[in-house]
Amino acid sequence: MKRIVSGIQPTGNLHLGNYLGAVKNWVDLQNSRDYEIFFFIADLHSLTGKLEAKQLHKQVNILIAELLALGIDPKKVTFFKQSDVVGHADLAWIFNCVTPISELQKMTQFKDKAGNQPQNINTGLFVYPVLQSADILMYQGELVPVGEDQVQHVELTRDIARWFNNKYGQYFVETKAKLTHIPRVKSLLAPDKKMSKSLGEGHTIELADEPEIILKKLSKAVTATEGGGESVGVANLLLLLKEFTPTKIYQEFVQAEKDKTIRYGDLKKVLAENISEHFKEFRKKRAEFLKNPKKLDKIMNVGAKKAQKVADKTMIEVRKLVGLS
């Protein structure tokens, strides 16, 4: 089986954009049984951001609980915390030494992240993509599930593998992007932007939100048409309707929008009810997991041990290749 590697940062409670953009696909891939899969919490990456130590620790536990509640199954995949596995940072340093600085200067992620935190433009933000490559190649990841907007990172990983192999001998696989359909969920209040926690609470629907909160947030969602053209806000709500309601209901609202008979209040109410119902079981499981942090620790320790065996093998061989042992 081909090996898939993917990670997610503990930057806040999961929202609809995270779910439709990554986690839903993770669960589908896991349940297909067609791949050997490594999923991890990218907590080392989060050190480049604004989270304080206590916040980070708390958010890691919340993310673990949420992923488990959504269906990530530690019996089917290797599920672990990045920082629990020794070697990721070591491999990233070795990769830093074969990666031209000019290639990192092309990465759009650095510009985006630096723009979001102008008072904290640290070196970690700049070499962040190299650590991403180490995360993948540590496990000889052949495929990384991404949308088209993230292909650049996979291409850099493939380049780094090639640069290493050219210098030290053929060792790493050349990773490929596994392109997946990722609905581009927009902010509720600024639908010209991607749904993101950094925009503020009212811009996102978190999976843990209670029904009344979901309805309240959707009631304020932008639907106004600008310049007589198609409303991006309405298109965003219809996208969510397509994902979370029966096809017949979705088609009825699409037709009403075409006929200009649509009642946006009804659309928001129906959408709120269906989203609330879809994540009802998730909210229950999430609460149960968070009540038992020892169980979360046990699950992650088992995953880390599995991942460490693979990482140890990689680092022993890499150290020999580069002359460190």
Residue 196, CA distances (Å) to 72, 116, 173, 276, 307 in order: 22, 12, 33, 20, 30
Answer for the pair 160, 99: CB distance below 8 angstroms, yes or no: yes
Catalytic choice (176, 178, 197, 306) = 197
Does residue 197 carry a catalytic annotation? yes
Q: What six digits make up the tokens of 251?
A: 């088609």
In angstroms, rounded to a whole number, what is the distance separating the alpha carbons of residues 63 and 42?
A: 11
- Alpha helices by DSSP H, listed for 71-193, are 88-96, 101-104, 108-116, 123-137, 151-168
Q: Please, what sign has the CA dihedral across residues 192, 195, 199, 203?
A: positive
Q: What six digits make up the tokens of 82?
A: 């990045």
**DSSP summary character for residue 11:** S
Answer for the pair 231, 204: CB distance below 8 angstroms, yes or no: no
Catalytic choice (24, 113, 186, 268) = 113
Nearest to 6 by CA among 36, 51, 33: 36
DSSP per-residue codes, 206-217: BTT--HHHHHHH
Catalytic choice (194, 269, 295, 313) = 194
**DSSP summary character for residue 198:** G
Residues with active-site annotation: 113, 194, 197
